[in-house]
């Protein structure tokens, strides 16, 4: 089973600052890595798929990078609505089994 | 618009069963694989199961294998999760989600419902 580790657990930043979130896989997941945003009381929202592709309607300030075991989600300039929990997620090649990372909370400093 | 609406949650005693439903609309349900994902109170997301677009294949997380069954009725645009032998650790908000590419298994989920809550308690 592939385990995802996210760091930091909490990121305290101010609006306008740059956020850099890390996701590390216990073995290579190629580029099968997605990022989701979840606000309190809401369902997760897909941000990034296949490591670096922005989902429909996602602002350009969100970007993803990486391959293999190390991935990064970057928010170039935090907007007030970006303070939330962010999860990475991977899929194993076969069988298609999915796992999520434990999440990174981005809160207001 | 594309929409997923879960229902069927509630309070269930340990060892009993509960069937969750997810009604899909706004897209050709029968073309897409579908997932169940859960979230325990105050915790992170946990993938539960996936079913192929035609219902012929199902895959499960180890934590629910042998106890939960994912199924679908494409004529009614509805996804199901039959939970049995439930445990307190199955207490969670259960989401259904769409696998985004027709007739295959993708690597992410693009549309999510709002979830239905299952509480396992005596």
Whole-number Å distance between alpha carbons of A78 and B74: 42
User: B26-85: per-residue pLDDT in tens?
Assistant: 999 999 999 999 999 999 999 999 999 999 999 999 999 999 999 999 999 999 999 999
Whole-number Å distance between alpha carbons of B47 and B55: 18
Q: Give me the pLDDT at residue A8, please.
A: 97
Helix, coil or strand: residue B52: coil
User: A45-95: per-residue pLDDT in tens?
Assistant: 999 999 999 999 999 999 999 999 999 999 999 999 999 999 999 999 889
pLDDT-above-90 percentage for chain A: 95
From chain A, the residues in CB contact with B105 under 8 A are 91, 96
Q: Give me the pLDDT at residue A93, please.
A: 87
Residue B104 pLDDT grade (very low, low, confident, very high; cuts 50, 70, 90): confident
Per-residue exposure over B19-48, b if at least 16 CB sit within 10 Å of its own CB, e if not: ebbbbbeebebbebbbbbbbbeeeeebbbb
Which of A42, A46, A90 minimises the CB distance to B109? A46
Is A28 at the interface with chain B, CB within 8 A? Answer: no
């Amino acid at each position: 089973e592939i385990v995802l580790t996210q760091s930091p657990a909490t990121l305290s930043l101010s609006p306008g600052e740059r956020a850099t979130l890390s996701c590390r896989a216990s073995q290579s997941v190629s580029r099968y890595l997605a990022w989701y945003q979840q606000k309190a009381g809401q369902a997760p929202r897909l941000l990034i798929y296949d490591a670096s592709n922005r989902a429909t309607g996602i602002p350009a300030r969100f970007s993803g990078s990486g391959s293999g075991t190390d991935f990064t989600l970057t928010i170039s300039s935090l907007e007030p609505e970006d303070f939330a929990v962010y999860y990475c997620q991977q899929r194993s090649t076969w069988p298609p089994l999915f796992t999520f990372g434990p999440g990174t909370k981005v809160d207001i400093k | 618009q594309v929409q997923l609406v879960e229902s069927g949650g509630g309070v269930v005693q340990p060892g009993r069963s509960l069937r969750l439903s997810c009604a899909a609309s706004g897209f050709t349900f029968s073309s897409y694989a579908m997932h169940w994902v859960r979230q325990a109170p105050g915790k992170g997301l946990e993938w539960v199961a996936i079913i192929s677009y035609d219902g012929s294949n199902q895959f499960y997380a180890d934590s629910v294998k042998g106890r939960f069954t994912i199924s679908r009725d494409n004529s009614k645009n509805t996804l199901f999760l039959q939970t049995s032998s439930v445990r307190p650790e199955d207490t969670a908000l259960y989401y259904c989600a769409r696998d985004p590419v027709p007739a295959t298994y993708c690597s992410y989920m693009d549309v999510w419902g709002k979830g239905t809550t299952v509480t396992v308690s005596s």
